[in-house]
Amino acid sequence: MKNLKRADSNTIAVIIKEISNSYWGVMLHVLEREARDRKYCLVLQNVADDEDEVELALQLEKEKKVKGIIFLGGMYNYDESRLRMLRVPYVISGSGKTVPEDTGTYPKSALVTTDTEIESQSMVDYLCSCGHKRIAFITSGDEGLGRCHLNGYKRSLEKNGLEYDEKLIIRLKPGKRIYTIENGYNCTCELLKSGVEFSCIYAISDTLAVGACRAVIDSGKRVPEDYCVAGADGQDIAEYYHPSITTLKYPRVEIALQSVRTLFDLINRKKVVKRQILGGTLIERESTRKL
């Protein structure tokens, strides 16, 4: 969050949670292209999963370097009073629940997102429909994204008449790189060694799911014959890994397009839709089966 370079006045900033997550690649390409077409520069700033993106936004604004900001990822449990301190337009993209009401003459903020709780619930509903009653869950340990996924998981269990068991929840430790194949592998190895009974693993990213699959196979078991595995994001690796992984595919290109176009409308003081919710698609592949 330091050593920010001097930026041109026609500049927007993208503040991204954990840039190492390959999920963001296609979205960043869209954002950069749309900014370039409007003769704007794009400044990319990374924050770790456990860092404060609002503090960085306030720093960027204080130095008068940007005309607008896109928060990419994170922003589930922000302090509304601190967001109100921002004077430049901003869009919370790909995450979040809501944005503060505008108090000035022109709109200043908007939300372009998927409903993580609903999407997560839909995946667990699908796994329950396959006959699974003991679904292990690999999630982040934060009170933002991880909490939203967990709420959806719990809602589905309740809906399907299943009891919640804390022993089935594996929380990743906060850090700069948490959505990795290695973390998915290590978490699954620990789960298998624990002796906890389960028939399926649901991970909140496809990279974690790939690691989970590998851990199951290395233990001498099979996917999906012995354990099913499902992920989320809709990354290419889920399609081309063997076995291919059942996942929730989020509309990343559409989210990026709507986010950057909404930001430029805010910059130009145009009317915008304050809250756009885009749905994901559940893609069934080889890593899951009916029991």
Q: Please state which of the ranges 72-81, 83-92, 153-162 shows the lowest mean pLDDT.
A: 72-81
**Other Cβ atoms closer than 10 A to 82:** 14
Report whether pLDDT(165) > 70: yes
Q: Is the pLDDT of residue 7 over 60?
A: no
- Predicted local confidence at residue 80, as pLDDT: 74
Q: Is 175 helix (H, G, I), strand (E, B) or coil?
A: coil
* Cβ-Cβ contacts under 8 Å for 41 (sequence gap 6 or more): 7, 8, 10, 11, 12, 35
Q: Say how many Å lie between the first and final Cα of the chain, rounded.
A: 48
Q: What are the chain's domains?
A: 11-114+251-279 (3.40.50.2300), 116-249 (3.40.50.2300)
Residue 2: both structure tokens together? 């330091």
- Whole-number Å distance between alpha carbons of 228 and 244: 11
Q: DSSP assignment, residue 179?
A: S
Across residues 66-91, what is the average pLDDT? 83
β-partners of residue 41 are 11
For the stretch 235-287, pLDDT in tens is: 999 999 999 999 999 999 999 999 999 999 999 999 999 889 999 999 999 99
How far lies 155's CA from each of 126, 143, 160, 162, 261, in Å? 13, 17, 9, 10, 34
Per-residue confidence (pLDDT) for residue 229, from 0 to 100? 99
Mean pLDDT of 161-172: 97
Q: According to the model, what pLDDT value does residue 85 have?
A: 87
Angle at which helices 116-129 and 145-159 cross, to 10°: 40
